[in-house]
Amino acid sequence: MSDKINSKITGTGSFAPPRILTNYDLEKMVETSNEWIITRSGIKERRIVEDGTGPSDLSLEASKIALREANLEPDQIDLILIGTVTPDYLLPSTACILQDKLKAKNAAVLDIVAACSGFIYGLSIASAFIAIGQYKNVLVIGVETLSKIVNWEDRNTCVLFGDGAGAAVVSATTEEKGILGTFLSGDGSLANLLHIQLGGAKVPLTKENIGLKQHYISMQGNEVFKSAVRAMEGAAKHIIQKVGLSPEEIDLLIPHQANIRIIEALAKRLKVPMDRVYVNIDRYGNTSAASVPIALDEARKKGVIKEGSNTVLVAFGAGFTWGSAVIKW
């Protein structure tokens, strides 16, 4: 026990839409092969939402599970933070829509646009608000319906992404455990390596430019790959050192699930053996902000995370943004 207010995760939940799109399905849609996708990315299948289902719907399912586990009622939530680049609407935020669906009537509401790092940005903001005593219970979500913003004719991107949601309840505690530290960073000078050019306020979508198909994700994959490995290595090492852990003391590494080759390269550089790295990219593909919280929830539910163990979360995404966190359970 201490006088300092710490933050700990008291419940997690995740939800992926039931519809599965396999690599074999994709072979019929673009010039690709199951073998190429597996060897280059590690992905076998991904989940895709039905039309009419929004990120707020996926978030609602994941949040209900997390709240149940945390033993909290929705009106006990002080703040809802949603990391997403695929909001239900441009206005208002998806956090507002979820607040209403969840009946979390006492919660402040905020979306975080930090792409694949959105959930870790959310954890960091949640623990900062808790540390200053402003909030006690924060619901942090990472959710995406990337299937709505990929060009299904572009094999460079459409084989990689998927839909889903993960949620965590972060609560104040005086115990000497929980979120031991977080680290956030970014580099906007590399924005054009992974972006959507059209459809924002600077270049709105028009009848004339819609045919350019630049309102979908465009990515220079191999450049992003190199930056992802470098930035996640730096972010993980920084936070591990800051909280005073050695690589041997990391019981589980949960990296953003963008590519199995990125994950393996990262694990090697961090000297963490692959049997201590959580991988589910084969089943979901890259779900951007949802990838870390879905993996975290699965790892908890499978009993991979034990009382007292140390988990390192690390992510990298468009922006570029990156971040890391260490959690002691």
Minimum distance, C-beta of residue 321 to ligand UT7, in the bound complex (Å)? 10
Cα distance between residue 196 and residue 186, in whole Å: 18
- 27 versus 249: smaller Cβ distance to ligand UT7: 27
Look up residue 200 and give its DSSP letter.
Answer: S
Query: Of residues 222, 246, 302, 307, which one binds ligand UT7 by CB under 6 A?
Result: 222
Taking a C-beta distance cutoff of 8 angstroms, is the pair 147, 48 a contact?
A: yes
The whole-angstrom separation of Cα 166 and Cα 123 is 12
Of 187, 41, 168, 58, nearest in space to 114 by CA: 187
Q: Which residue is nearest to ligand UT7 (CB)?
A: 221
- Residues 22-51 contacting ligand UT7, CB under 6 A: 32, 36, 40-41
| Smallest separation, CB 291 to ligand UT7 (Å) | 8
Contacts for 214-221 with beta carbons within 8 Å, 24 or more apart?
A: 215/149, 216/149, 216/150, 216/151, 216/154, 216/157, 217/146, 217/149, 217/150, 217/151, 217/157, 217/161, 218/154, 218/157, 218/194, 219/156, 219/157, 219/193, 219/194, 220/193, 220/194, 221/156
Of the candidate residues 58, 62, 262, 263, the single one contacting ligand UT7 (CB under 6 A) = 262
Closest CB 186 distance from ligand UT7, rounded Å: 13
Quick one: 14 or 259, whose CB is closer to ligand UT7?
Answer: 259
Min dist. Cβ of residue 153 to ligand UT7 (A) = 12
Distance CA 78, CA 96 (A): 13
Among 53, 76, 156, 280, indicate the residue that binds ligand UT7 (CB under 6 A): 156
Q: Spell out, one character per residue from 76 to 105, where the chain touches ligand UT7: x when CB under 6 A holds, - when not.
A: ------------------------------
Quote the CA–CA distance of 125 and 44 in Å, as a whole number.
34
Active-site annotation holder among 215, 256, 259, 310: 256
Using CB under 6 A, count the residues that bind ligand UT7.
21
DSSP 106-161: T-EEEEE--GGGHHHHHHHHHHHHHHTTS-SEEEEEEEEEGGGTS-TT-HHHHTTB
Stretch that binds ligand UT7, among 47-55, 224-232, 263-271, 299-307 (CB under 6 A): 224-232
Shortest Cβ 26–ligand UT7 spacing (Å): 8
Alpha-carbon gap, residue 187 to 320, rounded angstroms: 5
Question: Does the protein bind ligand UT7 through residue 116 (CB under 6 A)?
Answer: yes
The residue (of 40 and 237) whose beta carbon lies closer to ligand UT7 is 40
Interatomic CA distance for residues 270 and 246, integer angstroms: 10
Residue 246 binding ligand UT7, by CB under 6 A: no
Task: Name residue, tokens 């933070």.
Answer: 81
In the block, which residue shows the tokens 């589910």?
Answer: 280
* 151 part of the active site: no
Half-sphere exposure at residue 65, Cβ-oriented, CA atoms within 13 angstroms = 20
Q: How far is the CB of 265 from ligand UT7 (least distance, A)?
A: 11
Indicate which single residue of 63, 84, 286, 321 sits in contact with ligand UT7 (rule: CB under 6 A): 286
Candidates 195-203, 220-228, 264-272, 275-283 — which segment interacts with ligand UT7 by CB under 6 A?
Answer: 220-228
The residues that are catalytic are 116, 256, 286
* Contact positions vs ligand UT7 (CB under 6 A): 32, 36, 40-41, 116, 155-156, 159-160, 221-222, 224-225, 228, 258-259, 262, 286, 288, 316-317
